[in-house]
Amino acid sequence: MKALLSLLALLSVGYARAEEPLPVTLTEVRVDVNGDGLPDIVSIRMTAGRRTNDAEPWCGMGDKYEGTFVVSVNILGVETVTELNSLYPPRTALWFWAAPWSLAVSDYNHDGLIDFNLGQYGACQGWIYSLFTIERSGKVHLLPTTGAFGGVFNGDRGNSSFFPLTRRGFRNLRFDQTKQVYVEEQWEWKQQQNRFVVAHTRHASELDPK
């Protein structure tokens, strides 16, 4: 009996769990989006797809949601929904870790509108974070960068990462595989180019792994 249970447990790994009713809310944050002083609700939801425990041995293995996602912005009971997948460069699918997480909301480009970021697998050394902004109406747009896949490569490997703000943008830490050092990047928003660019870099040699 014990052997049978072990076999069943083994077989269940890598298969979709029991279906959860859609949409599934992955995370939700209260933040004032339209500047009226009242908190609004920003949610990330999966509208189609599955929850799966990926047992393949790679840096993206684990319990995750994979499929089609939206961001919902609820302002005084009025909901605006923006599809997320189409805001990304073409990919096979988006996925997010199933474990509880917080959406990193901040004003990364200092224009007074709330922004947030979402991470997707980049490499074992980090995830690629795309930045998005929320109009006062609740509509969401991508804030492109000059980085890989129009995002920011960061040593974090979570669904969303809090980038420390700087005077003109935000700070990011990534691992340079070629030079085997951590690099600190200062990202700034360039209005004329309509994207974030790296304004300064610094090798964070004191953080070199030894």
| Residues engaged in binding Ca ion (CB under 5 A) | 32, 34, 36, 38, 40, 107, 109, 111, 113, 115
Smallest separation (angstroms) from Ca ion to the CB of 10: 48
Dist. CA 182–CA 175, nearest whole Å: 4
Q: Which is nearer to Ca ion, 41 or 181 (CB)?
A: 41
Smallest separation (angstroms) from Ca ion to the CB of 34: 5
Q: Which is nearer to Ca ion, 2 or 167 (CB)?
A: 167
Contacting residues for 112 by C-beta, under 8 A, at least 6 apart: 35
**What's the angle, vertex CA 130, arms to CA 64 and CA 150, rounded to 5?**
125
Name the token pair of 27. 């995370």
Smallest separation (angstroms) from Ca ion to the CB of 40: 4
Q: Which is nearer to Ca ion, 165 or 204 (CB)?
A: 165
Distances (CA, A) of 66 to 16, 110, 176, 188: 10, 32, 28, 31
Q: How many Å is the maximal CA-CA distance in the chain?
A: 68
Q: Which is nearer to Ca ion, 40 or 66 (CB)?
A: 40
Smallest separation (angstroms) from Ca ion to the CB of 35: 7
